[in-house]
Amino acid sequence: MSCPLPHEFFARPSPVVAADLVGKIIWRHGIGGGRLVEVEAYLPNGDEACHAAQGKTARNAMMFGPPGSLYVYVSYGVHHLLNLVCEEEGIPSAVLIRAFQPWKADLNLRRMRGDDNGDMPVRDIASGPGRAGQALGLDLTWNGQSLGRESGLIVADDGQRSAVQRTARIGISKADDLLLRYIAPGSEFLSRSPRWGENVAPPPVAPDRRR
């Protein structure tokens, strides 16, 4: 049993949303999905790695949309990377979906990844932002759509708790000192190192802090 996250969930700062997204279920109706194990937050201010750092452009316009919007863009001319837009409309921040653990019935995900023979290791199906986007069958027509029944893409909470660790973001050349990559520590389905234990820091908010 699981319930889709309300859009209010995304109307918060992206680091908070990112930390809460680890362990949640991402699912495309009719295709499939799995449990999020790796995401990255991008900030509206003071984040040179954010696509909106130089202001609004044709590409990043959807980052300014309402919370729960999808920002999809093409990376290296090959891959479609999925972001979930955070904060209220007009504030450009988002969470990049970098990896998820495929759900048991992963046949559709395999087909989307071009694995018709079914011999791709499960850990290779969605362990990376490009792989995750391809597994979900996303392209530029998804840019600007919104999470929910209409689009067919949802993020849900199935009640299962997940530990969260914070590390430096991957694949960027600017602002790589910010620890805004959130992972399920020890997961086999992360995109790449640090899989666990390296360069990690506690979550921004301690889960059970007492005075």
Partner DNA sequence: TAAACGATTAGCT
Partner DNA sequence: GCTAATCGTTTAT
Using the contact rule CB under 7 A, the part of the chain among 20-28, 42-50, 146-154, 177-185 near DNA is 42-50
Instruction: Find the largest Cα–Cα distance for the chain.
Output: 56
Which of 1, 30, 46, 77 is in the footprint of DNA by CB under 7 A? 77
Which of 171, 194, 195, 204 is in the footprint of DNA by CB under 7 A? 171
Which of 1, 58, 105, 205 is in the footprint of DNA by CB under 7 A? 58
Told to check if 112 binds DNA by CB under 7 A, we report no
Which of 23, 34, 44, 128 is in the footprint of DNA by CB under 7 A? 128
Contact predicate 83/95, CB 8 Å: yes
Tokens 């949303």 sit on residue: 17
Report the nearest approach of DNA to the CB of residue 101 (Å). Answer: 15
Nearer to DNA, 31 or 172 (CB): 172
Which of 70, 96, 153, 190 is in the footprint of DNA by CB under 7 A? 96
Distances in Å between the Cα of 155 and the Cα atoms of 21, 28, 168, 194, 209 are: 9, 9, 24, 25, 28
Query: Site mask, DNA, residues 136-165, x = CB under 7 A?
Result: ----x-------------------------
Contact predicate 158/152, CB 8 Å: no
Nearer to DNA, 70 or 164 (CB): 70
Strand partners, 182: 39, 166
Contacts 24+ apart (CB under 8 A), 52-59: 52/92, 52/93, 56/92
